[in-house]
């Protein structure tokens, strides 16, 4: 297990570094790799002291204040959504489950949209207001989906995705209603609907980072329990897993990660569906590997998708949620068709 983690983690880490370099390098203004490395080294304590500034100052401003904050935020957003998707798929034993398809992302966006509509983004807890409210509304939407999916008091995996689609459609209609009613803040609400990392500074990274780190550590602690869930809930209970408690904690933490991502970047679909599934195909069903590698893969996926979003039609920028939907919807259709054949 450790050998696989080091092997794939090392490969993923190198790919992540390469993706960061490419993302910071390209854009409306090109910054050479040598300049990027020299600027970065100049910011290191002791090592960069006394370095001669022989590069374009505007390149440094673009790198440090525009592209690098966006890159780091994209990595955290992708990692949070992917880890949440892995958690949902593990505890529900359904490869089609993720925060987007179960309506959790839409539920979190409802909380953000309501706050924006009434001008309450910083009213209660400052910069933490939107993440906390998004978590509450996302958790409520998840509980409603799970309730809808129950038949005779038991959760049916066959109706879970359908319940998520119903909830997603309803909550999406509610947010669309707010868009139709709003005038001054219509663009801000549309931001949540389409998802984007544009104009996101370092403060947004500081908002999502603690949520991700805490949620990641909690879910890693439940990796063994998620492995046992693959045997079935009854067998997991026989092996010492407190099934209902584990389900609630894992789903709640996954919802918290989703809410944190939605609060800073809007609704970005299919990340939590695609990445954990691909990781599972590569390294197997062990969640001690799936969770950390999903975090790494999710960061890479969102980073590359965002790079495409801002460069393909430059200077016009495509919303990030649109790019991930273009990539994710066919993959979701493939999984759905494959699952129908298995039933």
Q: State pLDDT tens for residues 82-124.
A: 999 999 888 888 777 788 878 888 888 888 888 888 877 777 7
Residue 241, CA distances (Å) to 170, 226, 247 in order: 35, 9, 10
Q: At what angle do helices 157-181 and 104-117 cross, to 10 degrees?
A: 20
**pLDDT band with cut points at 50, 70 and 90 for residue 50:** low
Of 81 and 34, more confident = 81
Name the residue with tokens 């990781």. 279
The token pair at 70 is 């966006």
Q: What's the pTM value of the predicted model, to 2 decimals?
A: 0.87
Q: In this predicted model, what pLDDT tens digit does every residue of 236-283 receive, in sequence order?
A: 888 888 888 888 888 889 888 988 888 888 888 888 888 998 898 888
Quote the tokens at residue 29: 């203004």
Region label for 57, one of left (φ > 0), alpha (ψ between -120 and 50) or beta (otherwise)? alpha
- The residue-averaged pLDDT of 306-314 equals 86
Q: In the CATH hierarchy, which top-level class contains the domain 78-342? A: mainly alpha
What is the reported pLDDT for 48?
63
* Whole-angstrom distance, CA of residue 22 vs CA of residue 32: 10
* Residues with Cβ within 8 Å of residue 34, at least 6 apart in sequence: none
- Most confident option among 35-39, 160-164, 296-300: 296-300
Q: What is the per-residue pLDDT for 300?
A: 94
How far apart CA 193 and CA 340 sit, in angstroms, is 30
Q: Could you tell me which residue, 51 or 169, shows the higher pLDDT?
A: 169
Domain boundaries, the chain: 78-342
Read off φ and ψ for residue 154, nearest 5 degrees: -120, 140
Contact (CB, 8 A) for 107 and 187: no
Determine contact, residues 311/25, Cβ cutoff 8 Å. Answer: no
Residue 292 has pLDDT above 90, yes or no: yes
């Amino acid at each position: 297990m450790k050998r696989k983690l080091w092997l794939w983690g090392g490969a993923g880490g190198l790919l992540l570094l390469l993706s960061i370099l490419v993302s910071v390098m390209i854009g409306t203004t090109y910054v050479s790799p040598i300049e990027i490395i020299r600027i970065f080294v100049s910011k290191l304590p002791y090592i960069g002291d006394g370095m001669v500034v022989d590069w374009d100052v505007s390149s440094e401003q673009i790198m440090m204040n525009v592209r690098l904050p966006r890159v780091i935020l994209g990595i955290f957003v992708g990692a949070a959504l992917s880890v949440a998707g892995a958690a949902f798929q593990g505890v529900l034993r359904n490869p089609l489950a993720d925060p987007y398809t179960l309506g959790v992302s839409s539920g979190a966006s409802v909380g953000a949209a309501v706050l924006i509509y009434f001008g309450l983004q910083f009213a209660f807890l400052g910069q933490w207001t939107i993440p906390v409210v998004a978590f509450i509304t996302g958790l409520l939407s998840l509980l409603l989906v799970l309730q809808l999916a129950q038949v005779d008091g038991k959760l049916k995996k066959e109706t879970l995705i359908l319940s998520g689609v119903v909830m997603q459609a309803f909550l999406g209609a509610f947010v669309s209603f707010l868009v139709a009613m709003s005038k001054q803040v219509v663009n801000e609400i549309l931001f949540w609907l389409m998802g984007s990392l544009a104009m996101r500074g370092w403060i947004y990274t500081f908002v999502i980072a603690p949520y991700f780190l805490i949620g990641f550590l909690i879910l890693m602690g439940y990796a063994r329990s998620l492995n046992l869930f693959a045997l079935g809930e009854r067998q997991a209970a026989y092996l010492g897993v407190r099934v209902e408690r584990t389900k609630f904690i894992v789903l709640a933490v996954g919802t918290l990660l989703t809410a944190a991502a939605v609060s800073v970047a809007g609704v970005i679909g299919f990340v939590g569906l695609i990445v954990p599934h691909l990781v599972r195909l590569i390294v197997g069903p062990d969640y001690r590997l799936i969770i950390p590698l999903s975090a790494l893969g999710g960061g890479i996926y969102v980073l590359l998708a965002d790079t495409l979003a801002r460069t393909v039609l430059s200077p016009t920028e495509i919303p990030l949620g649109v790019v991930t939907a273009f990539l994710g919807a066919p993959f979701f259709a493939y999984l759905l068709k494959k699952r129908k054949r298995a039933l």
